Amino acid sequence: MSVVEQAQRARTAAAALAVATRADKDAALHAMADALVARTSEILAANGADLAAGRDEGLSTAILDRLALDAGRVADIADALRQMAALPDPTGEVVRGSTLPNGLQLRQIRVPFGVVGIIYEARPNVTVDAAGICLKSGNAVLLRGSSSAARSNVALVSVLRDAVAGTGLPADSVQLLDATTRDSVKELMRARGLVDVLIPRGGAALIRTVVEEATVPVIETGVGNCHVYVDAAADVSKAVAIALNAKTQRLSTCNTAESLLVHTAVADAVLPPALAAFAAAGVTVHGCPQVARHSTAVLPATDEDYATEYLSADISVAVVESLDAAVAHIQRYGTGHTEAIVTDSQSAAREFVARVDAAAVMVNASTRFTDGGEFGFGAEIGISTQKLHARGPMGLPELTSTKYVVTGDGQLR
Amino acid sequence: MSVVEQAQRARTAAAALAVATRADKDAALHAMADALVARTSEILAANGADLAAGRDEGLSTAILDRLALDAGRVADIADALRQMAALPDPTGEVVRGSTLPNGLQLRQIRVPFGVVGIIYEARPNVTVDAAGICLKSGNAVLLRGSSSAARSNVALVSVLRDAVAGTGLPADSVQLLDATTRDSVKELMRARGLVDVLIPRGGAALIRTVVEEATVPVIETGVGNCHVYVDAAADVSKAVAIALNAKTQRLSTCNTAESLLVHTAVADAVLPPALAAFAAAGVTVHGCPQVARHSTAVLPATDEDYATEYLSADISVAVVESLDAAVAHIQRYGTGHTEAIVTDSQSAAREFVARVDAAAVMVNASTRFTDGGEFGFGAEIGISTQKLHARGPMGLPELTSTKYVVTGDGQLR
């Protein structure tokens, strides 16, 4: 079946989902969870075949790790669906309402987008997560996973579709696109009028391609060259702890800090313990000359270092002359994801928050907190780094649009 | 100066606008209004040159009419700026806020986009309106008007820039792109990273081009193939009045009705007075055979008629078997702008509202009410017909994004 045909089926499914009640949708989520657990052996067999093929192709241990499922992981994935069922339904919410001077009653109501396309890499849990969050928000979903997880995704989506259909909602609420050809990505990107929004989740190259080529509206996610700026008025031990946590709590996430900026006034106090902490954690420091003075282990930082989202045990470190210089550095190299300041100065915090242009600005907290789960949203489809529609962690409301409903008794203009 | 250079200047201006207070911005709006009035003769001289050139090129009377300014129109345009100053500042609004279990204080705050690009046709009042609404919402604007209004726009933007600079905000908050070449449109569409959002205002062809070619995020506006559906349970006189108003109150707007659907049960009651009213108003009816039975003046409606946004004294009219058939017709031919039902049945209204996928759904009211002014928004930059970010009339809040600000005292993950 072509992507266009799948998208047309998704539109039909979306029309049914748009009028489904919360009870209908939650029942489907529970059925999906139960079916995943009941059919675990089928899923693990498919996953085993993906893993074997991946080993033959020489995929890295890290990728194989992310790909691997076991009964425990399947149970966790199922539990995530049950937790989604417990979240409030974003659709139907009255966002704004008033009675106009002529008596017209105006309401702006949250409605599903309709059809959501998601392009993502490796991890099979994303398949189920994305299917669940889209269904809960009343959207049909077209999933384009990676070829390395193709068999796992076929098995998972087969289980999910059967479960959805068993509760009376359309099986085509969840569809998987062919992962063995790039054509399916291209067709999905150009399915304007059939697909309402496309969310690419993956590396910078994937996101750039989608942004360049898509005619469907896109929500850009993920690239995070995040900074921690230690201000002149920072508490030194808090600053070191935040920088270390932001860099090392998990290396491969988009909210991981990739760069540390230290105000010159506290450089001598902050850099020695910070460099020692990084060394102890196995983090390589790429620093400016003022940083290198403090340790022979510091490699010289290039412009490229400052621009790089390492996603590895590396960090760039620079001494800056002022808050102004820190903001300028962040404007130049940042990707608008998460930027943190460590300071006890109210005025410095206020200025940093006002001037830094990013999805999230942290004051005296780790960049790692930019996350739908941490923010209390319950479910997250990705972290938007664009300004249109959604910015920052996207939960259920971010997967909806709105509709104005205007009720009168014959009003004319 | 290239568009990229202009966009870079706009980014610098946007950084200043982002931290400007409401008082700063309102002072600039008043200065802009005062300067327009003070320099009216200069503006009218430029406009006269555009009109003379337009007459030489053989532009239609309708286009020349839309292009023409006089002292009264300039005063009205200035007044619109003063009214914008009186509206609340959307930026800084706390959209959402909570304290997380670990003590982090989370706030989602409205912030300007940064740089907004607007591509529009003919009318010079849009130049001032767009500059005003962007400045009020804290955005720098890049304006690409039509070549027929080039001299008027140069004069208007010169006045606006001087006025803005006079209040201490950057003149580059408002910039005009070269209207004499298509290259400026192309460069603007591809200025990703410099321009945050692009709003094309104009005909379907312009909007299609922008959607196809832009890498900058786009908000699609305007195309409206709007329907009035007269349900079996409709009040006949209200139905006829709404259909007539929706079609004829103004022919050339996107919220004008282009199609009337009548339930077969009330066709014999509704069609004779409706057709008579259209005839009296000089509207040509393109109807299905069941409509043609009622009048020899009815032309046969083709598929293309049903798909056409006439923007003229024409309407397509069809008899439908059911509410279901009406919804199916609207799904097939509608553009997701505004759809109206006339009915006294609560269940029919409820079903129509739930099932019709459009920016605005009217119950017993004219489609002409889909408008920022009518909705009480005070200012409008266009009517979005896409689902991402904004749907329906876009006022000041729709020209903003948000930023999460997270404040802690050393929280780690």
Nearest Cα neighbor of A337 from A317, A314, A309 is A309
Q: How many angstroms away from the CA of A10 is the closest CA of chain B?
A: 15
Q: Is the pLDDT of residue B7 over 90?
A: yes
Provide the Cα torsion A11, A16, A17, A20; round to 10°: 170
Q: CA-CA distance, B36 to B129, in Å (whole number)?
A: 12
Count of helices and strands (H, E) across chain A: 15, 16
Retrieve residue A36's tokens: 């995943």
Element (H, E) at A404: strand A400-411
Residue A382, strand partner residues:
A394
Q: What average pLDDT does the segment B398-406 reach?
A: 98
Q: For helices A236-248 and A267-280, give the axis angle rounded to 10 degrees.
A: 30
User: Which residues of chain B are in CATH 3.40.309.10 domains?
Assistant: 226-369
Nearest Cα neighbor of A40 from A71, A65, A66, A67 is A71
Nearest Cα neighbor of A197 from A285, A93, A112, A80 is A112
Q: Where are the beta strands (DSSP E) in A188-336?
A: 197-201, 226-230, 257-263, 284-287, 299-300, 314-320
The DSSP secondary-structure symbol of B218 reads B
**CATH code for the domain defined by B3-220+386-407:** 3.40.605.10
Restricting to A residues 288-317, those with a Cβ less than 8 Å away from any Cβ of B are: none
Using CB atoms within 10 Å of the CB of residue A255, give its burial: 0 to 12 exposed, 13 to 18 middle, 19+ buried.
buried
Q: What average pLDDT does the segment B178-183 reach?
A: 90
Identity of residue B316: S
Q: CA-CA distance, B183 to B189, in Å (whole number)?
A: 10
Burial call B81-118: b when 16+ CB within 10 Å, e when fewer:
beebbebebbbeeeeeeeebeeebebbbbbbbbbbbbb
Handedness of CA A124, A127, A130, A133 (dihedral sign): negative
Q: Which residues of chain B are within 8 Å of residue A369 when distances are taken between CB atoms?
A: 104, 406, 411, 413
Q: What average pLDDT does the segment A399-403 reach?
A: 98
Contact at CB, A404 and B355, closer than 8 angstroms: no
> For residues B83 and B378, is the Cβ–Cβ distance under 8 A?
yes
CA B321 vs. chain centroid, Å, equals: 34
**CATH code for the domain defined by B226-369:** 3.40.309.10
Q: For helices B40-57 and B71-86, give the axis angle rounded to 10 degrees.
A: 120
By mean pLDDT, which of B164-168, B225-229, B374-378 is the weakest? B374-378
CA distances to A112, A379, B98, B133 from B355, rounded to whole Å, are 12, 27, 35, 34
Coil, helix or strand at residue A69: coil
Q: Which residues of chain A are within 8 Å of residue B361 when distances are taken between CB atoms?
A: 403-406
ipTM comes to 0.95
Instruction: Count the neighbouring beta carbons within 10 Å of the beta carbon of residue B137.
Output: 28
Indicate which of A197, A357, A380 best probes the interface with B, i.e. most B CBs within 10 Å of its own CB. Answer: A357
pLDDT at B280: 98
Nearest Cα neighbor of A231 from A263, A273, A272, A258 is A263
Element (H, E) at B2: none
Instruction: Count the neighbouring beta carbons within 10 Å of the beta carbon of residue B72.
Output: 9
Q: CA-CA distance, A298 to A108, in Å (whole number)?
A: 56
Q: Which residue has the tokens 């600079």?
A: B165
Q: What average pLDDT does the segment B80-88 reach?
A: 97
Q: CA-CA distance, A10 to B76, in Å (whole number)?
A: 48
Retrieve residue A37's tokens: 């657990």
Restricting to B residues 65-124, those with a Cβ less than 8 Å away from any Cβ of A are: 98, 100-101, 104, 106, 108, 111, 113-114
How confident is residue A108, by pLDDT bands cut at 50, 70 and 90?
A: very high
Q: Pairing state of beta strands A314-320 and A382-384?
A: unpaired
Restricting to B residues 339-378, those with a Cβ less than 8 Å away from any Cβ of A are: 349, 353-355, 357-366, 368-370, 374-376
Rounded (5°) CA angle B329-B335-B336: 95
Contact at CB, B387 and A360, closer than 8 angstroms: no
Coil, helix or strand at residue B302: coil
Rounded (5°) CA angle B198-B200-B201: 140
Q: What average pLDDT does the segment B23-33 reach?
A: 98
Identity of residue B337: H
Contact at CB, B366 and A413, closer than 8 angstroms: yes
pLDDT at A204: 79
Q: Which residues of chain B are within 8 Å of residue A368 when distances are taken between CB atoms?
A: 412-413
Q: Which residues of chain A are within 8 Å of residue B140 when distances are taken between CB atoms?
A: none
Q: How many angstroms away from the CA of B71 is the closest CA of chain A?
A: 28
Q: For helices B323-333 and B346-355, give the axis angle rounded to 10 degrees.
A: 20
More confident residue, B60 or A257: A257
Of all residues in chain B, the one with the smallest CA distance to A388 is: B389
Percent of chain A whose pLDDT exceeds 90: 91
Element (H, E) at A275: helix A267-280
Please tell me which of the candidates B368, B386, B413 has its beta carbon nearest to residue A413.
Answer: B368
Retrieve residue B139's tokens: 């955005």
Contact at CB, B391 and A410, closer than 8 angstroms: no
Q: Which residues of chain B are within 8 Å of residue A204 when distances are taken between CB atoms?
A: none
Q: CA-CA distance, A85 to B93, in Å (whole number)?
A: 31
Alpha helix positions (H), A167-223: 183-189, 204-213
Coil, helix or strand at residue B180: coil
State pLDDT tens for residues B307-333. Answer: 999 999 999 999 999 999 999 999 999
Please, what's the largest Cα pairwise distance for chain B? 80
Q: Pairing state of beta strands A392-394 and A382-384?
A: antiparallel
Q: What average pLDDT does the segment A211-237 reach?
A: 93
Q: How many angstroms away from the CA of B387 is the closest CA of chain A?
A: 5
Q: What average pLDDT does the segment A106-129 reach?
A: 94
How confident is residue A220, by pLDDT bands cut at 50, 70 and 90?
A: confident
Q: Which residues of chain B are within 8 Å of residue A361 when distances are taken between CB atoms?
A: 403-406
Of all residues in chain B, the one with the smallest CA distance to A403 is: B359
Contact at CB, B100 and A375, closer than 8 angstroms: yes
> For residues A384 and A398, is the Cβ–Cβ distance under 8 A?
yes
State pLDDT tens for residues A6-62. Answer: 999 999 999 999 999 999 999 999 999 999 999 999 999 999 999 999 999 999 988
Indicate which of A380, A404, A407, A409 best probes the interface with B, i.e. most B CBs within 10 Å of its own CB. Answer: A404
| A336 contact B CB<8A | no
Retrieve residue B293's tokens: 């039975």
Q: Is the pLDDT of residue B122 over 80?
A: no
Identity of residue A126: V
Q: CA-CA distance, A10 to A337, in Å (whole number)?
A: 32
Restricting to A residues 198-217, those with a Cβ less than 8 Å away from any Cβ of B are: 211-212, 215, 217
pLDDT at B265: 98
Q: Is the pLDDT of residue A128 over 80?
A: yes
Of all residues in chain A, the one with the smallest CA distance to B237 is: A410
Q: CA-CA distance, B190 to B118, in Å (whole number)?
A: 13
Residue B65 makes CB contacts below 8 A (sequence gap 6+) with none
Q: What average pLDDT does the segment B255-261 reach?
A: 98
User: Which residues of chain B are in CATH 3.40.605.10 domains?
Assistant: 3-220+386-407
> For residues B227 and B261, is the Cβ–Cβ distance under 8 A?
yes
> For residues B203 and B63, is the Cβ–Cβ distance under 8 A?
no
> For residues A142 and A175, is the Cβ–Cβ distance under 8 A?
yes
Of all residues in chain B, the one with the smallest CA distance to A343 is: B409
Please, what's the largest Cα pairwise distance for chain A? 80
> For residues B298 and B285, is the Cβ–Cβ distance under 8 A?
yes
Q: CA-CA distance, A239 to A381, in Å (whole number)?
A: 31
Of all residues in chain B, the one with the smallest CA distance to A21 is: B354
Please tell me which of the candidates A353, A391, A412 has its beta carbon nearest to residue B405.
Answer: A353
pLDDT at B158: 98
pLDDT at B128: 97
Please tell me which of the candidates A108, A353, A409 has its beta carbon nearest to residue B364.
Answer: A409
Q: What average pLDDT does the segment A220-237 reach?
A: 94
Q: What average pLDDT does the segment B70-82 reach?
A: 97
CA distances to A106, A259, B307, B315 from B225, rounded to whole Å, are 21, 51, 7, 10
Phi, psi of A296 (to 5 degrees): -75, -15
Identity of residue A391: R
Retrieve residue B141's tokens: 């604007």
Contact at CB, A364 and B413, closer than 8 angstroms: no
How confident is residue B30, by pLDDT bands cut at 50, 70 and 90?
A: very high
Q: Which residues of chain A are within 8 Å of residue B412 when distances are taken between CB atoms?
A: 241-242, 245, 249, 365-366, 368
| B127 contact A CB<8A | no
Q: CA-CA distance, A294 to A282, in Å (whole number)?
A: 17
Q: What average pLDDT does the segment B264-268 reach?
A: 98
Restricting to B residues 254-283, those with a Cβ less than 8 Å away from any Cβ of A are: none
Average of per-residue pLDDT values in chain B: 96
Q: What average pLDDT does the segment A317-342 reach?
A: 97
> For residues A271 and A369, is the Cβ–Cβ distance under 8 A?
no
> For residues B285 and B310, is the Cβ–Cβ distance under 8 A?
no
How confident is residue B221, by pLDDT bands cut at 50, 70 and 90?
A: confident
Identity of residue A6: Q
How confident is residue B25, by pLDDT bands cut at 50, 70 and 90?
A: very high
